[in-house]
Chains A and B, each alone.
Chain A
Amino acid sequence: GENVEQHPSTLSVQEGDSAVIKCTYSDSASNYFPWYKQELGKRPQLIIDIRSNVGEKKDQRIAVTLNKTAKHFSLHITETQPEDSAVYFCAASRRGGADGLTFGKGTHLIIQP
């Protein structure tokens, strides 16, 4: 089955700086890669996703890049703000909502004031 590795497990950045979280996956048939943000005691929230037919997607301060050949994808957050502090999870699946997601172990992002 699919295996998703996520790094780093903890990331501390100064407010206003950029943050990058990286994930690798094992199943070459995976073609949908969402990112979720989970604040303490809350539900995972979908913040951005990418499908295998594109290499990059942006939404304001957030971007995701995908390299299918190398089987890795990354989340980029620019101009970080205190409200970006949370645990971020990457995930992968073959058929999006018609399939179970395989998650990474998460990255605890800490924004230092």
Chain B
Amino acid sequence: ETGVTQSPTHLIKTRGQQVTLRCSSQSGHNTVSWYQQALGQGPQFIFQYYREEENGRGNFPPRFSGLQFPNYSSELNVNALELDDSALYLCASSLAYEQFFGPGTRLTVL
């Protein structure tokens, strides 16, 4: 069984640019959630996808958007990057109650 994977591991962007982060779900999991973890804080829920449809959203602006593909992998897109977007971005896949996290993508915005 393959665990949750994310790419890239690290990314450096400048303010105003756009970024796409990728997540591959654990085998058989049909739900993907994305979280933002600032340094020294707990993860904050961005949104969730279930069978290619957005299934819930946290308190994040529309410039944070996502996709889920038929194989349940997912993308997180962030437009018009701001300095405060610098964080660890985590995805988590689930089938029932438990959510299993990927290793994250460290995004730095300069």
Contacts and interface: CB of A to CB of B under 8 A. Distances in A.
B100 to A, nearest CB: 7
Interface of B is mostly: strand
Interface residues of A, number: 25
Interface string B77-108: 00000000000001010111111111110000
Interface stretch (A64-72, A78-86, A103-111): A103-111
B62 interface: no
A45 B35 CA distance: 14
B103 A97 contact: no
Given A45-B101, A49-B98, A100 B56 contact: yes
Interface residues of B, number: 29
A75 to B, nearest CB: 14
Contact of A103 (B42, B56, B59, B94): B42
Contacts of A99: 48, 56
A9 to B, nearest CB: 10
Interface in B26-64: 31, 33, 35, 40-45, 47-48, 50, 55-56, 58-59
6 contacts: A1-B59, A98-B50, A98-B94, A100-B45, A103-B43, A106-B41
